[in-house]
Amino acid sequence: MSQALVRIAAGWLLGLMLAVAGAIVAINLVNSTVASPQQPVREYIDALQNGDGGKALGLLRATVPPSNAAMLDGTALQTAASRLSNVQIGEPEERPDNRVAVPMDYTIDGSRLSTEFVLQKTGTEWIFFNTWAFVPSRLPTVDITVVNGSEANINGVPVNMPNGRNSFAVFYPGEYEASLDGQYFSAPASRATVTGRDTPVAPLNLLTQATGKLKEDVSAKVREFLDGCAAEAQKEQRLQPDCPFYYASNNRVQDGSIKWSVTEYPNVSIEPFDGRWVVSPLDGKAKVEALQQNSFTGVWYPLDEEVDFSFTTRLDVSGDTVKVTPQLSF
């Protein structure tokens, strides 16, 4: 063989060896990036951040427990994932049965947290490229209760709370914030951070309170009732009207001289009790004025007395409607 042929053969052999080496490097590169166990994790996190619950559920290969699904898609899901920052996906760690654990570190509300995803090798594509999938699992749930309420807001989404409680299936990792910001009832936000499928999650308890608006509206109705009662008592010229207030006297009172007025309106306090909202007993003062005659001397003189009164009411709130029903006993 001539020297020229030897050089050509050597060149082809070198090129072939470089091509094989390049192919091996390329295969290893693909298996460490797009065909790595980390890739399904990246795709899963992207699906969470895009609010694509269907894709996230398919990637995670998770079953949904009996629960409310309001947190599994759209705005609620995006909000849960948006609270993750400084996300770092670590190197896979070998586990038995062709499985690996992929750690992921991240920050939520300033706390550094971690989640471990378990994946299994499912085969290869084009002979050389590995395929990986999450080991099937079950989604965790977050239980939420609300005092004397039938609705709440979770991650910006209104949800129903039958009998004041509900259970929500959730993806992980993520943060879920429940609150109530209604016209008449509100509750400060309460948060739960879910880091994994088996991580215990404490229930969120919304401590509902009556808003200032409800107290204002109830106070207005109480004032309206008392003013109306005083006006009716004056119209009927009665010292003992069908009102929370009255005055007892053995003296004769001149017809047309009786005048009632409320001098101190009750302070309204609304509290939860036995699964409903109640108004605390209402205490106030009323004034009666009249011209009376002493039964012994026959002398006429002014009656000017302030009397204490107290009564209870029944409160009914339905949507934007407030009803206050006085409970009087005679």
- The single residue listed with the structure tokens 């101190």 is 264
Domain limits, the chain: 8-208, 212-327
Q: What is the mean pLDDT of residues 67-92?
A: 97
pLDDT more than 90, % of the chain? 76
Q: What is the mean pLDDT of residues 54-59?
A: 97
Which of 14-23, 36-45, 230-239 bottoms out in mean pLDDT, i.e. has the lowest? 14-23
Amino acid, single-letter form, for residue 272: P
Task: Give the SS3 label for residue 66.
Answer: coil
Q: Does 127 have pLDDT greater than 70? A: no
Per-residue pLDDT reduced to its tens digit, 163-214: 999 999 999 999 999 999 989 999 999 999 999 988 888 899 999 999 999 9
Please, which pLDDT band fits residue 245 given cuts at 50, 70 and 90?
very high
Cβ 204 vs Cβ 143: under 8 Å: yes
Residue with the larger pLDDT of the pair 262 and 28: 262
- The single residue listed with the structure tokens 């949800």 is 159
Q: What is the pLDDT at residue 275?
A: 81
Q: What is the pLDDT at residue 296?
A: 82
Q: Rounded to whole angstroms, how far apart are CA atoms 158 and 179? A: 10
Query: Which of 31-35, 119-123, 249-253, 265-269: highest mean pLDDT?
Result: 265-269
